């Protein structure tokens, strides 16, 4: 008995059961155009509300889900929720996009291509309304990955490299991948206007992205000084607490409506 209950309670089965019971939900963090501070899209960030009401953050369960092979199931949940939420966002702004995070296993599975097809179908969104993000670790997995990646991009979905600078990507590797957007990791944005040695890395990353004709999104922007610096260097997009924290879909829709009717309304209402 004890053995059986231990198996039933093993982490993969707990995570699978959570997916089945709909315990995963999303918060959306706005992506802004730095020149105008206009919210042009949002990143979907998964959370887990356990039966007792406890909220588990993704940093805690995503690595476990990746390890035990449940991550593709969670990605499918995320995709379904985004597809259900997209119509209300598109009613406010037809150009708006939502980005979802993909793990290495998603980039090895043809199911991911199918997931985007289903999302496009059920939400009636256009490919420009959906984006995918994956870390360097996810991309560096050889031929299989690049085939899935190509298939996703052929659908018209924009692909971003996430947490750039924290892994081992080289310039040549970035060139060969065929990407649309480079996301500068928060740990580099934090060094802007400090005198630490790593503060010199940000301009290099920006120059490299420009030379590869990639769009750039800076993550974890918390101060006007950081935003000004990034804008002056030609970084087009940003995310961070300065503009908006992750929020429920209802709040995102409300604030978007307010922003579209009175553009002066921005992150202040969310802080």
**Using the rule CB under 6 A, is 162 a contact of ligand C2E?**
yes
Answer with the entry of Ca ion, ligand C2E, none that 33 interacts with (C-beta below 5 to 8 A by kind): none
**How far apart (Å, rounded) are the C-alpha atoms in residues 102 and 236?**
23
Among 240, 247, 252, 266, binds ligand C2E (CB under 6 A): 240
Backbone φ, ψ for residue 250 (5° rounding)? -60, -45
Cross-strand bridge partners of residue 161: 134, 182
**Using the rule CB under 6 A, is 246 a contact of ligand C2E?**
yes
- Residues in contact with ligand C2E, total (CB under 6 A)? 22
Among 163, 177, 184, 256, binds ligand C2E (CB under 6 A): 163
**How far apart (Å, rounded) are the C-alpha atoms in residues 268 and 250?**
17
Among 42, 62, 89, 238, binds ligand C2E (CB under 6 A): 62
**How far apart (Å, rounded) are the C-alpha atoms in residues 203 and 222?**
18
Specify the 3-state DSSP secondary structure of 184: strand
Please report, for residues 71, 154, 157, 256, the alpha-carbon distance to residue 150 in angstroms, rounded to integers and kept in the order given. 21, 6, 10, 32
**Using the rule CB under 6 A, is 136 a contact of ligand C2E?**
no
**How far apart (Å, rounded) are the C-alpha atoms in residues 178 and 241?**
30
Contacts (CB under 6 A) with ligand C2E, residues 79-118: 101, 103
- Please give the residue ranges that form the binding site for Ca ion (CB under 5 A): 101, 133, 162-163, 219
Cross-strand bridge partners of residue 159: 132
Answer with the entry of Ca ion, ligand C2E, none that 246 interacts with (C-beta below 5 to 8 A by kind): ligand C2E
Do residues 256 and 98 make contact, with C-beta atoms less than 8 angstroms apart?
no
Answer with the entry of ligand C2E, Ca ion, none that 45 interacts with (C-beta below 5 to 8 A by kind): ligand C2E
Cross-strand bridge partners of residue 48: 24, 56
**Using the rule CB under 6 A, is 119 a contact of ligand C2E?**
no
Q: Name the residue nearer to ligand C2E (CB basis): 65 or 206.
A: 65
- Positions in the binding site for ligand C2E (CB under 6 A): 29, 45-46, 57-59, 62, 71, 78, 101, 103, 162-163, 186, 219-222, 239-241, 246
């Amino acid at each position: 008995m004890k053995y059986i209950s231990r198996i039933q309670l093993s982490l993969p089965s707990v995570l699978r059961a959570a997916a089945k019971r709909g315990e995963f939900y999303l918060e959306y963090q706005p992506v802004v155009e730095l020149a105008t501070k206009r919210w042009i899209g949002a990143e979907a960030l998964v959370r887990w509300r356990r039966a007792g009401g406890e909220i588990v953050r993704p940093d805690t369960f995503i690595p476990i889900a990746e390890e035990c092979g449940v991550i593709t199931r969670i990605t499918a949940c995320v995709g379904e929720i985004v597809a259900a939420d997209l119509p209300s966002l598109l009613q406010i702004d037809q150009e708006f996009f939502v980005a979802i995070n993909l793990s290495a296993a998603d980039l090895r599975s043809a199911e991911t291509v199918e997931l985007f097809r289903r999302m496009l179908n059920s939400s009636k969104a256009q490919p420009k309304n959906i984006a995918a993000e994956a870390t360097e670790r996810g991309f560096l997995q050889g031929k299989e990955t690049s085939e899935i990646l190509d298939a996703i991009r052929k659908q018209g979905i924009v692909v971003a490299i996430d947490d750039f600078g924290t892994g081992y990507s080289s310039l040549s590797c970035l060139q060969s991948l065929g990407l649309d957007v480079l996301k500068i990791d928060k740990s580099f944005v934090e060094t802007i206007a400090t005198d630490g040695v790593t503060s010199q890395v940000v301009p290099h990353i920006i120059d490299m992205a420009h030379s590869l004709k990639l769009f750039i999104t800076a993550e974890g922007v918390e101060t006007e000084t950081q935003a000004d610096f990034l804008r002056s260097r030609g970084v087009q997009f940003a995310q961070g607490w300065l503009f908006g924290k992750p929020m429920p879909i209802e709040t995102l829709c409300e604030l978007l409506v307010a922003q579209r009717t009175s553009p002066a309304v921005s992150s202040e209402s969310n802080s």
